[in-house]
C-alpha cells in the first residue's frame, strides 16, 4: 500500500474540509501505458469496489483498486513546491521513470 507525507495529508484534509466530503477516502489509481509510463489519478470516492485495498496514513483514509495495488506498493504521495507552485507528486519506486530524491 502507499502512504502520504504530513504535507500531503494537511492539503488533503484542507480539501476535505473545504468540500464537506468528510466520509470519503482518497482513491488513487495508476494506469500503466503501453510505453510503460505510469499515469496517476486521485480523488475522493465513497464507493467500494471488489478487491479494493484500504489503509490509513497520517489520519487520511486511502483506497486503491486491485489493479493498481501492486503498482503503488511502497509509493508516497507528497505535496511540494515545484518551481513556485505547490503540487502533489507521486514518489513511486515501481515507476520506471522514478528517480530517488537527492539529499
Q: What is the model's pLDDT at position 61?
A: 94
The answer to whether the CB of 9 falls within 8 A of the CB of 55 is no
Reported confidence tier of residue 103, pLDDT bands at 50, 70, 90 = low
- Nearest Cα to Cα of residue 53 among 65, 37, 71, 40: 65
Residue 30's beta-bridge partner residues? 40
Q: What is the model's pLDDT at position 19?
A: 87
pLDDT tens, position by position, 20-71? 887 789 999 999 888 889 999 999 998 889 999 999 999 999 999 999 999 9
Distance CA 4, CA 59 (A): 9
Q: What is the model's pLDDT at position 48?
A: 86
Task: Please give the span between the terminal C-alpha atoms of the chain, in angstroms, as a whole number.
Answer: 25
The answer to whether the CB of 41 falls within 8 A of the CB of 28 is yes
Fold adopted by 3-91: Hypothetical Protein Aq_1857; Chain: A; (2.60.300)
Amino acid at each position: 500500500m502507499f502512504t502520504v507525507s504530513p504535507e500531503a495529508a494537511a492539503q488533503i484534509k484542507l480539501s476535505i474540509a473545504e468540500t464537506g466530503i468528510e466520509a470519503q477516502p482518497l482513491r488513487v489509481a495508476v494506469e500503466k501505458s503501453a510505453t510503460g509510463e505510469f499515469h496517476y489519478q486521485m480523488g475522493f470516492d465513497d464507493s467500494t469496489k471488489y478487491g479494493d485495498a484500504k489503509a490509513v496514513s497520517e489520519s487520511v483514509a486511502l483506497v486503491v483498486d486491485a489493479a493498481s495495488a501492486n503498482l503503488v506498493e511502497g509509493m508516497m504521495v507528497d505535496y511540494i513546491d515545484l518551481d513556485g507552485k505547490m503540487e502533489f507528486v507521486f514518489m513511486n519506486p515501481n515507476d520506471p521513470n522514478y528517480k530517488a530524491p537527492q539529499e
